[in-house]
Chains A and B, each alone.
Chain A
């Protein structure tokens, strides 16, 4: 039973446009959400996070939006750059439960020139 779902295995976006990566979760106990970026043969790199008390967090070109009622979060990258091509993982943590993160299966973002 997947508690964190990334329904798009891949996404292709033209350079300079906005990339929108989506993530849905089922566990209402999740209180902290993160996005990681991963290149082949490397570990995931932390990008941005958001606490459940907020609905938006912005860091440079990256913005994460959280819709608690819909149990949905999204990562917006604007403008998209070639170096953004990677696999993006959504992750969540439960405030009252296990201390590890629950990850989605990832979305492969491809930025086309």
Chain B
């Protein structure tokens, strides 16, 4: 079956613009996660969804970041008024439930000019 799918694979935008990143999890996976990886760093956890709800949003870097998940499937991560420090690879992962290993998509490489 298909793995985690993320789009776009690459996004270049100007500082101050809004961007929306999309994640299609593996079918049937109830848990969905967003991470980002800045240059030379490990993965930084952003937010977790169980079904459509995100119990803890404190991992989001600022209030310019928001995420939603509808229908227990697709999720979008939105960054408003992008800044250069938002440049990173944004990775989505899903798992059958929180006690199972997470499976990652190939990420969206975001570059803010």
Please tell me which stretch of A11-19, A42-50, A66-74, A75-83 contacts chain B, meaning at least 4 of its Cβ atoms lie within 8 angstroms of it: A42-50
Q: Indicate which residue in B45, B104, B107 contacts A98 across the interface (CB closer than 8 Å).
A: B45
Contact A100 B33 (CB under 8 A): yes
* Residue from A41, A45, A99, A100 within 8 A of B104 (CB atoms): A45
B4, B45, B106: residue with the most chain A Cβ atoms closer than 10 Å = B45
Contact A100 B91 (CB under 8 A): no
Does the CB pair A49–B101 fall under 8 Å? yes
- Bound form: Cα–Cα A46–B101 in Å: 7
Determine which of A46, A89, A102 lies in contact with B45 in the assembled complex, contact meaning CB atoms within 8 Å: A102
Which of A42, A100, A105 has a CB less than 8 Å from the CB of B40? A105
Nearest B residue to A87, CB-CB: B42
In this assembly, does A34 line the interface, its C-beta being within 8 Å of a C-beta of chain B?
Answer: yes
Contact call B98/A99, Cβ cutoff below 8 A: yes
Residue from A4, A34, A100, A105 with most neighbouring chain B CB atoms (10 Å): A100
> Which residue, A89, A91, A99, has most C-beta atoms of chain B within 10 A?
A99
What residues of A have a CB within 8 angstroms of the CB of B41 in the complex? 105
Instruction: Give the residues in chain B near A100, CB-CB below 8 Å.
Output: 33, 35, 45-48, 59
Chain A min CB distance to B8 (Å): 14
